[in-house]
Structure 1
């Protein structure tokens, strides 16, 4: 049975430097072909001060935590029963090579479906840069098979 008393649980913040090599690798791994994400001259011509991060990149920075799944296990969740259900992004200022991004996630909702067979955990994350500007907000929903 999902425990709604966990709503409001926050992850420890993680701060990660953004490097050009990471951005190029992420662009390639996700099939991004726009040269603005892999070529410094193209990025500058497009008005960026350095290579910008491809869409969804900030979410991958969350994996830089010493234990990227600690929030889930602290809720008593068995990682083998978790499925990624939904992801949404709201973009703020661009993330660029040379930035330092800090990410924190908060559990904002828990609900059940299918007579309690599935519990859904909804997390909202905020990624800010070294100037305190919001670079991205995320909403991540996990489906958890109970029982």
Structure 2
């Protein structure tokens, strides 16, 4: 499975209000996230998204990975242990983001599976926006508390919406 690649079928269009909403959620008060004239003063045509805004795109992109490629995991039993982001250019309102997902590495340690994914985010001009590597630890099988499983499913559905 290592090396498996897919491109998310549809693009993610960055909305002005979504930038503001995300900035409030992560308590980032920089004016360029809220005020178009502040963003324009920095040389941007639209609001500038907070640096971690790409996590919205990543959650959508990785869903397919666990539904179709790396199957057998209950999402409530997967924990993100590390993430590395390389910023190539800012994300701004109006951008259309495309995501290529790669299964970068997979290994087993002490009964757990360590999965590293690589997401390459480009914009509508095919310019590189961000590259991210996410390390996840999970286990297949085993009993899962039904309440936890439902809670995680609800969170994932909310993030992907």
Q: TM-score, normalised by structure 1?
A: 0.86
Q: Which residue of 1 aligns with 2:145?
A: none
Please tell me whether the aligned partners of residues 118 and 145 of structure 1 are also in contact (alpha carbons under 8 angstroms).
yes
Q: Which runs of 5+ in 2 are unaligned?
A: 142-161
Q: TM-score, normalised by structure 2?
A: 0.79
Superposed structure 1 runs of 4+ greater than 6 Å apart = none
Q: Which residue of 2 aligns with 1:35?
A: 31
Q: Which residue of 2 aligns with 1:9?
A: 4
In structure 1, C-alpha distance between the alignment counterparts of 2:118 and 2:13, rounded to whole Å: 21
Q: Which residue of 2 aligns with 1:143?
A: 137
1:78 deviates by: 2.4
Is 1:133 the counterpart of 2:127? The answer is yes
In structure 2, C-alpha distance between the alignment counterparts of 1:33 and 1:40, rounded to whole Å: 14
- Residue 60 (structure 1) aligned to one of 56, 63, 68: 56
Q: Give the helix-richer structure, 1 or 2.
A: 2
Q: Deviations over 1:37-85 (max 9, x none)?
A: 11111111112111111111122123446xx522113212222321111
Please tell me whether the aligned partners of residues 23 and 51 of structure 1 are also in contact (alpha carbons under 8 angstroms).
yes
1:146 deviates by: 4.2
**Other structure's SS at 1:43 match:** helix
Please tell me whether the aligned partners of residues 73 and 79 of structure 1 are also in contact (alpha carbons under 8 angstroms).
no
In structure 1, C-alpha distance between the alignment counterparts of 2:74 and 2:6, rounded to whole Å: 17
In structure 1, C-alpha distance between the alignment counterparts of 2:135 and 2:21, rounded to whole Å: 26
**Other structure's SS at 1:51 match:** coil
In structure 1, C-alpha distance between the alignment counterparts of 2:15 and 2:23, rounded to whole Å: 13
**Other structure's SS at 1:36 match:** helix
When the two chains are superposed, the root-mean-square deviation of aligned CA atoms in Å is 1.6
Is 1:23 the counterpart of 2:15? The answer is no
In structure 2, C-alpha distance between the alignment counterparts of 1:62 and 1:109, rounded to whole Å: 17
**Matching of residues 45-124 of structure 1 within 5 Å:** 45-64=41-60, 69-74=63-68, 75-76=70-71, 77-114=73-110, 117-124=111-118
Q: Which runs of 5+ in 1 are unaligned?
A: 1-5
